[in-house]
Every structure is written in structure tokens, then in C-alpha cells.
Structure 1
Amino acid sequence: MAIIYKKCTKCGSKNSVKIDCGMPGYERSREAEAGKMNPDYSCNDCGHEWNRKQAMDEAYGKIKIIKASVGGYFGGYYDVTVDFDNLQTTWSFNEGETQKTSKRSIQVSTSQAFIEKLKMVNLLNWKANYTEVGVCDGTHWSVEIFTVERTIKKYGDNMFPLEWELFCKSIGRITNRKFH
């Protein structure tokens, strides 16, 4: 799932138009300097206006749970669940007979900071599949994103999104455990 920037953040309609203002005049430049966001889109159905940042905030705000796993036959598997509704993380590591598990409560501010990291790694705009053709062994990973509306799945075998390392560091930070 990629973020649909043209989807109205108020009514959900896709019947919108991109606002093309050209060069901003003095008034719009002053508003931008003052931190007021200028709209990029306008809804033809309800008249609401919004910008790309607001569309991104809306999409990431709908995430309820993230489940991520990574590992391989010789290195074991890491599994993590980040539950935004219950403000809790669950981390586990499995390798053969060895299994370790850890649960951690998190603060609202921690969950919000993690959402900001997810925006930075562009998680919702990752491709669905990153697979190196012809390689059967190695590192496998998956990320399931449970939102208000649906479940989004991303996965790969021996290939990763460009932002993978930052994603793994962010998972490690929120769980206070290793994830790679």
C-alpha cells in the first residue's frame, strides 16, 4: 500500500484535484514562514483542503499493530509486535531449542516517536515484495501492518528496502532488544 495523497483526509473521497499555485505570492510565503501549511489538494465532494504531510499523518495514524520478523536457518528468528492501542511491545528470539521472550510497556510519547521513525523509513510506501531470484537460503523477513481499515504485508528474501537498517534500529530501540 502506498499512501494515497489525493484521498481526502476528511471524507475519504478520491475525487480530488491537485492545487497548483505556481510561485507563491507574498502572503503565502509569509504563511509558510509562520508554519502555516499550504494545501496541495482539494476535495471536489466536501471542499476540504490538505497537504502531503497531513495525508501522511492520517495514514500513519491509522496503524494499530505492527508485526515484524527477520531471520534465517543458521541465525535464528526475531519476532516483534508493537501494539499501539495497548502501548506494549513483544519481542522473541527463536533458534533451535532456544527461545527468549520479552514484553515491554511503552509510553504514548515512545509510540509517537516510533511512528515518526516509520515515516522516516517510508514504511507504508515500501514495495510488497523484495525477493532475490534464484537464492533459496539466507535471510527472510516480513512486516505486517494492521490498520483501522486493513492489513498490509511486506516481505523479502535476501533483499531489503533501502531503509531496512534504520527500521531494524527503530525496532530495537522501541523493544530495547536486538532485531536484525
Structure 2
Amino acid sequence: MMKVKETINSLIAGIDGFSGISYKIHVDFFRNTFTVFEWKNKDNALPFTPLERKRIGSIEDFKNEIYSMKIWEWERSYRKEEGIILDGKYWSIKLNTKGKVYESEGIECFPHDWEQFCQAVEKLTGLPFR
């Protein structure tokens, strides 16, 4: 369990559609910067390419959202127990703090405040994250 006052260094999050567009974001809280990558799942598409985006939202506001969601308390894995998933969304998050790395991922199964997280990313970047 993370201490509330522990410093968050960075966050890397990705959402991959089995068909469609996938995104990855890397937020560096020390440098107060972020990078967004996009990948289109089409024939002859290039791997993740960085998108030139001006910051829409505040990294400090985004960090406060991360603290309020307590991502460090999310389960390590969210997956449906039954059946084979042939289409849907795969997501992952890696939260680096001063003392520990917290990772969580899932396929078509999400933590209770996943929508809040997606909205926070969209508010920061101006890009969809779903």
C-alpha cells in the first residue's frame, strides 16, 4: 500500500483495441511533461508514433486525480473468468513512485474508477483514451 504523501515520479498507460486505434501515454511528473503515442491497427501501419499535441490540461491536476483514484490500490489484473475474448480492449498502467512500482492491466474488465481515469487522461491530452 502506497503512503498518501509518497512522490509519484511517472505514469505509463496504454489502451489497445484489437481493431481500431491504440494509445499510450507517458507522463513525467518531475519534468512536467507528457508524450502520447498512437497506433492504428491497419495493414502496413507503423508502430506507435508520437503525436504532436499541445497540453490541454494541467499535469498537476492530473496528478491530483491519480492520488484521488488511488491507482496503487487497483488489482494487478482484471479479466473475465469465462470464455475467450476475440475483440475488445486491453489496457495497462504502470505507476512509478519514489518507493515502488505499481502495475495493473486488464482485458475487457476494468477497475471501478476506470472512466474517471480515462476522463483525466482526455482532459490532460485532448485525445480520446477509450
TM-score tier after normalising by the smaller chain length: 0.7 to 0.9
Q: Which has the higher contact order (CA 8 A, sep 6+)?
A: 2
TM-score where L is the length of structure 2: 0.82
Structure 1 position 104, deviation (Å) = 4.4
CA RMSD of aligned residues (A): 2.1
For 1:88 and 1:154, the matched residues in 2 are separated by 22
Q: 1:50 matched to which residue of 2?
A: none
Kindly report which structure 2 residues correspond to 1:13-162, keeping only aligned pairs within 5 A, or say none: 55-56=3-4, 58-59=5-6, 62-95=7-40, 96=42, 97=45, 99=49, 101-104=51-54, 110-133=58-81, 134-137=83-86, 138-162=88-112
CA deviation profile, 1:118-147 (whole Å, cap 9, x unmatched): 122221211111011233332100001111
Q: Which runs of 5+ in 2 are unaligned?
A: none
8 Å contact kept, 2:78–2:109: yes
For 1:72 and 1:170, the matched residues in 2 are separated by 19
Greater Rg over alpha carbons, structure: 1
8 Å contact kept, 1:92–1:102: no
CA deviation profile, 1:65-88 (whole Å, cap 9, x unmatched): 100000221122110011111111
Q: Which has the higher helix share?
A: 1
Q: Which runs of 5+ in 1 are unaligned?
A: 4-54
For 1:104 and 1:124, the matched residues in 2 are separated by 28
CA 1:102–1:151 in structure 2 vs 1: closer, same or farther (change >3 Å)? farther
For 1:159 and 1:102, the matched residues in 2 are separated by 30
AA paired with 2:107? D
| 3-state SS in 2 of match to 1:160 | coil
Structure 1 position 176, deviation (Å) = 2.1
Off by >4 Å, runs of 4+ in structure 1: 103-107
For 1:85 and 1:71, the matched residues in 2 are separated by 27
CA 1:179–1:140 in structure 2 vs 1: closer, same or farther (change >3 Å)? same
CA deviation profile, 1:40-97 (whole Å, cap 9, x unmatched): xxxxxxxxxxxxxxx42x13xx111100000221122110011111111111211132
| 3-state SS in 1 of match to 2:52 | strand
Tell me the matched-pair count.
Answer: 123
For 1:126 and 1:149, the matched residues in 2 are separated by 17
CA 1:125–1:170 in structure 2 vs 1: closer, same or farther (change >3 Å)? same
Identity, in percent, stands at 22
| 3-state SS in 2 of match to 1:102 | coil
